Amino acid sequence: MANSTRSTEQIGFIGLGLMGHGIARNIVDKGYPLTFLGRRNRGPAEDMIARGAVEVPTAAEVAARSSVIFICVTGSRQVEDVVRGAGGLKQALKPGSVVVDCSTSDPVSTMALAAELAAVDVTLVDAPLSRTPKEAWEGTLDTMVGASDTMFARLKPVFDTWAGRAVHVGQTGDGHRMKLLNNFLSLGYAALYSEALALAGKVGISPARFDSVIRNGRMDCGFYQTFMRWTLEGDRDAHKFTLANAVKDLTYLESMADSVGMVNPLGNAAKNAFAGAVAAGGGERYVPMLATHIGQINGVDLAPPEKS
CA distance 277 to 293: 6
Dihedral angle over CA of 112, 114, 116, 118, nearest 10: -150
Backbone angles phi, psi at 10, to 5 degrees: -100, 115
The secondary structure of residue 281, as a DSSP letter, is I
Backbone angles phi, psi at 97, to 5 degrees: -85, 170
CA distance 285 to 245: 10
Task: Tell me if residue 179 is catalytic.
Answer: yes
**Residue type (1 letter), 130:** S
The secondary structure of residue 3, as a DSSP letter, is -
> Could you tell me if 278 and 243 are in contact, meaning their C-beta atoms sit under 8 angstroms apart?
yes
In order, the DSSP letters of 68-91 are EEEE--SSHHHHHHHHHSTT-GGG
Q: How many CB atoms lie within 10 A of CB 74?
A: 16
Enumerate residues 6+ apart whose C-beta is below 8 A from 245. 74, 75, 104
Q: How many CA atoms lie within 13 A of 196 on its CB side?
A: 18
Q: Mapping DSSP to helix (H, G, I), strand (E, B) and coil, where does residue 295 land?
A: helix
Q: Mapping DSSP to helix (H, G, I), strand (E, B) and coil, where does residue 306 land?
A: coil
Residue of 179, 202, 248, 271 with catalytic role: 179
The secondary structure of residue 305, as a DSSP letter, is P
By annotation, the residues acting in catalysis are 179
